[in-house]
Amino acid sequence: MAWALTLCMVELVLAWLAAWRSGEGFTPLRRAQWLQTACRQVTRSLGIRFRVVGTPPTNGLLVSNHLSYLDILIYSAAVPCVFVSKAEVNSWPYFGFAARQGGTIFIDRTRRVSAQEVAQEMARRLADPVPILVFPEGTSSDGAQVMRFHSSLFEPAAATGAQVTAAAVRYESAGDAPESDLCWFGDESFLSHLWKTLGGPGFTAQLVFGEPRVYSNRREAARETHEEVSGMREQLSTVSS
């Protein structure tokens, strides 16, 4: 993994040079494409494989359930996208810098004005040819159920008429471990979970993408996408068993 992370920085420099030579600059699409390449290298180094069902979107708002920080690696490896993330990630060594270079939008939940600023930034970026991925549960879980979706993150898409695509992620261990052992939730520290993941047999992530829809009301969008994601999770569990 250390070699993969080092290579990611080398490729970032090359991506910046290519952007400078093209005269276009490091556009949102170029950032997302660099992040996709980087995350594919890191997932391989961790022994993580992924399978995709459906067609990933190329723009608009992408919403999913949330199991772990690993979701970010997996979704980025599967589709060029940018994320809305909690502000704490911005200060993480290495990963905070990588997130900034990938175009991540950071939200500070302790400041009400931050939510307004994030909504404005999302509305602006929804015009880019790169989907914005959000986890409307607001936190990661053990996967037992999809928690309620907070509707505030749907407001920019509802206000601009941008398409919203529901997606679901499920983990399947290469051994006999339950999905919850791979999830990062509760009081477990980041480093202890990462160390456990590095020492495990690897796993496969299943991703399902729904059809894009347009909503005029954020609460309707939150309710209907929650039902869709929950249904996708149940379908994946049935197929797996």
pLDDT digits (tens, 9 = 90+) for 196-219: 888 877 899 999 999 999 999 999
Domain harbouring 153, CATH code: 3.40.1130
- Total number of domains in the chain: 1
**CA dist., res. 158 & res. 166, Å (int):** 14
Exposed / middle / buried, residue 89 (Cβ in 10 Å: 0-12, 13-18, 19+): middle
**CA dist., res. 126 & res. 134, Å (int):** 12
The sign one gets for the Cα dihedral 135, 140, 143, 147 is negative
Kindly report, residue by residue over 35-67, the tens digit of the pLDDT: 999 999 999 988 899 999 999 999 999 999 999
54: left (phi over 0), alpha (psi -120 to 50) or beta: left
**CA dist., res. 77 & res. 54, Å (int):** 15
Tens digit of pLDDT per residue, the chain (241 long)?
888 889 999 999 999 999 999 998 999 999 999 999 999 999 998 889 999 999 999 999 999 999 999 999 999 999 999 999 988 888 888 989 999 999 999 988 777 777 889 999 999 999 999 999 999 998 999 888 999 999 999 999 999 999 999 999 999 988 778 899 889 988 888 888 888 888 877 899 999 999 999 999 999 999 999 999 999 998 887 665 5
- Structural domain boundaries enclosing 17: 2-240
- Count of CB atoms situated within 10 Å of the CB of 107: 21
Q: Are 161 and 241 in contact (CB under 8 A)?
A: no
